[in-house]
A and B are shown apart, each in its own frame.
Chain A
Amino acid sequence: MRVIILGATSAIASAAARLYAAEGASLLLVGRDENRLAQAAADLKARGAEAAEVAISDLGDPVDVEQRLDAFVRQLGGVDHVLLAYGILGNQGEAERDLADAETILRVNFNSAAAWCLATANIIEKQGRGTLAVIGSVAGDRGRRANFIYGASKAGLEALVVGIAHRFADKGPRAVLIKPGPTMTPMTEGMNRKGALWAKPEQVAAIVHARAYRGGPVAYAPGFWRYIMLIIRNLPSAIFNRMEI
């Protein structure tokens, strides 16, 4: 198993990488922080990874994506799974006032992510097998005043990944989008994180890892969010607009 992890220092990606390492996978960790990537690679090797290589790259910059991805695949000697795990939450209030902030959220979470997804799709379609696994968000299911710019970027990503999965239907490769609910990661630091709805990165990573191997194109993590979001999506606007959620 050869796995490329885009955004390997994120909490969910780190936990997923450990599950792959325990299986003896070969990993390529991609991100910006060389020092942190090296620390993660040493840990994964000790935990059983056949190999743990690192590549330094600003993934949020959607330039030369195809060449960069080709280089990653060459570095790893082939690829079976690509996990796209980077993203930024941004600040909704500031992004509403300063459109440059909004543009950054959309560019990183959607434009650049879409480019990596499309480039990956081409590679795994050509080789006839492989998985593209992408971290989305329940925030993409219905725009809320608290985070709809982030939500819109994740909603766009969902349409894209589901479309790629459709393109792969009845062929070998797979594409899946995993939608975590609120998770205890550095991204959500500073929020009020008490309560039963908060998941640990390890719980979400277990679903990401399992879905990379099998299952449909969209998964909620933990699974109960499927039912919560079913209700949220179907609430009439007259009710939804009066709710503080």
Chain B
Amino acid sequence: MTRFEPADVRSWGNVLQAEHHAAFPAWRDQLPRIVLSGRQEGRALLATGLRRSYGDNGLNPEGGLIDMAGLDRIISFDPQRRLVRVEAGLSFDALLGVIVRQGSFLPVTPGTRFVTMGGAVANDVHGKNHHINGTIGRWVRRIGLMRSNGEELELTLESDPQLFSATIGGLGLTGAITWVELEVLPNESAVMDAENIPFDNLDMFFSLAAESDNAFDYTVSWIDCLAKGASLGRGIFTRGNHAKTGSRLPGRGNTKFTMPLSLPRLCMNRYSISAFNSLYFRNGKRKAGRQNIPIYQFFYPLDSIGRWNRMYGSKGMYQFQSVVPPAVEKDATKEMLKTISASGQGSFLAVLKTFGAVASPGMLSFPRPGTTLALDFPNHGETTLRLMARLDDIVLEAGGRLYPAKDGRMSARMFKAGYPAWQDFAKYVDSGFSSHFWKRVSQE
């Protein structure tokens, strides 16, 4: 129906906890009434999906949320033309279950399959194949967009280049994405031909990346962010391609265990994290080499623990993801890692990857050529914010930027410096839409 009701809504990082009002449409024809009732009640709106964004770009406590998860239908799938059109609330998990067995795969996927199509487009997500395929926005052919006046637009890059580009990576601020038509790729099997290579320091990472990016569709590295000195930036480099043969059935998913409740914060200290990282590195060394692994295990290792964000306790966590340009990527990355390991505030999941030069149509798209570093920090309040502010300075000086999908606290100054197109983008923001994130970063 079309009412807004109190709802328990949190983003994945769990730092900001605020009461929300949400509407739960089950059919697209309910959306005009929802946006109009939002306007009547004076609520600025925001469409949300499965809320895997870490920070506050999916939150809108003073306005209203449109929970799109009930709009999860496949509108059409044409395996010959490789075009799939789906409602915005459909998850990648559900879509993969349909297309993989029919010989297709997503052109781009983030590290979890529990994201919706609308959310993936609104954040212009990237994956381990960014150096080949760019972001998902490059594969979007058509978008349905509900504006706050109740009108639904059909956008293509040709018909509405500006609004289309603002909507790709537009963080839901140009309206509610109602459906998306996406080009998918042919893929013969649900198996990956993968290789793990341990490396002992940051320089080795960069040479592995340079040597792998041409021959491998997918590359990514896990790093031990607490290692110091000669081992600074040690980790495990993973690269892979789709296997040419093997079963087309992706299996029933890889979620083996779901965190039943938040761990006490006591578990999250420098000793436990450092021990985990050392163990993980040694384990990775043991399992080095080439192997065939199931598709979900390759792309979505984190999905093997349901609600893994609860590991970080009730105060939640911040995620920090930056990209710095090629000219300074080695120095800036080294500087960030030094700062982190010296602080002792580490992360289980530090990820390093080189982005390619394939440009996205999105005005606010995050990826750009260079190196991206992603880590999460358990929320210890002021000390955590101070550490991230020091990392901000390194990114700013390097001429890099932060990823809004992961952010829960970047300053307006940081945002505007990283995204010089923001003023152009702001012209396409629908006045009836907003978010907690946008209120912060668009202020003077």
Residue numbers of A with Cβ under 8 A of B are: 9, 11, 14, 35-36, 39-40, 42-43, 46-48, 184, 186, 189-190, 192-194
Contacts and interface: CB of A to CB of B under 8 A. Distances in A.
A47 to B, nearest CB: 6
- Tell which of A9, A46, A47, A186 has the most Cβ of chain B within 10 Å: A46
Contacts of B26: 11, 14, 186
Interface of B: 1, 3, 5-6, 8, 24, 26-29, 70, 73-77, 98
A190 B27 contact: no
A95 to B, nearest CB: 19
Given A42-B73, A42-B75, A46-B76, A193 B5 contact: yes
Given A42-B73, A189-B3, 9 more contacts: A11-B70, A35-B29, A39-B73, A39-B75, A43-B74, A46-B76, A184-B24, A190-B5, A193-B5
User: Which 9 residue pairs spanning A and B have beta carbons closest together?
Assistant: A43-B73, A46-B74, A189-B1, A46-B77, A43-B74, A36-B27, A186-B26, A186-B1, A39-B73
- Tell which of A43, A184, A192 has the most Cβ of chain B within 10 Å: A43
Contact of A47 (B3, B28, B98): B98
Contact of B24 (A36, A40, A48, A189): A189
A14 B72 CA distance: 11
A192 to B, nearest CB: 8
A120 to B, nearest CB: 26
B76 A42 contact: yes
Given A35-B29, A189-B24, A43 B75 contact: yes
Nearest to B30: A186
14 contacts: A9-B27, A36-B29, A39-B28, A40-B73, A43-B73, A43-B75, A46-B77, A47-B74, A184-B24, A189-B3, A190-B1, A190-B5, A192-B6, A194-B8
A194 B29 CA distance: 26
B89 to A, nearest CB: 12
Contacts of B28: 39
B98 A190 contact: no
A106 B1 CA distance: 23
Given A39-B27, A189-B24, A190-B3, A48 B76 contact: no
A40 B72 CA distance: 10
Contacts of A40: 73
Nearest to A193: B5
Contacts of B5: 189-190, 193
A54 to B, nearest CB: 14
Contacts of A186: 1, 24, 26
A69 to B, nearest CB: 26
A46 B27 contact: no
Contacts of B70: 11
A47 B27 CA distance: 18
A142 to B, nearest CB: 27
- Tell which of A9, A189, A190, A194 has the most Cβ of chain B within 10 Å: A189
A43 B86 CA distance: 9
A39 B76 CA distance: 10
Nearest to B5: A190
Nearest to B72: A43
A197 to B, nearest CB: 15
Contacts of A192: 6
Contacts of A36: 27, 29
B185 to A, nearest CB: 18
A11 B28 CA distance: 14
Nearest to A14: B26
A162 B115 CA distance: 43
A184 B22 CA distance: 13
A188 to B, nearest CB: 10
A87 B93 CA distance: 31
Contacts of B24: 184, 186, 189
A39 B24 CA distance: 18
A194 B8 CA distance: 8
Contacts of A39: 27-28, 73, 75
B146 to A, nearest CB: 16
Contacts of B3: 189-190
Contacts of A9: 27
Contacts of B98: 46-48
A39 B72 CA distance: 11
B250 to A, nearest CB: 13
B430 to A, nearest CB: 25
A24 to B, nearest CB: 12
A9 B28 CA distance: 13
Contacts of B75: 39, 42-43
Nearest to B26: A186
Nearest to B78: A46
A58 to B, nearest CB: 18
A120 B26 CA distance: 29
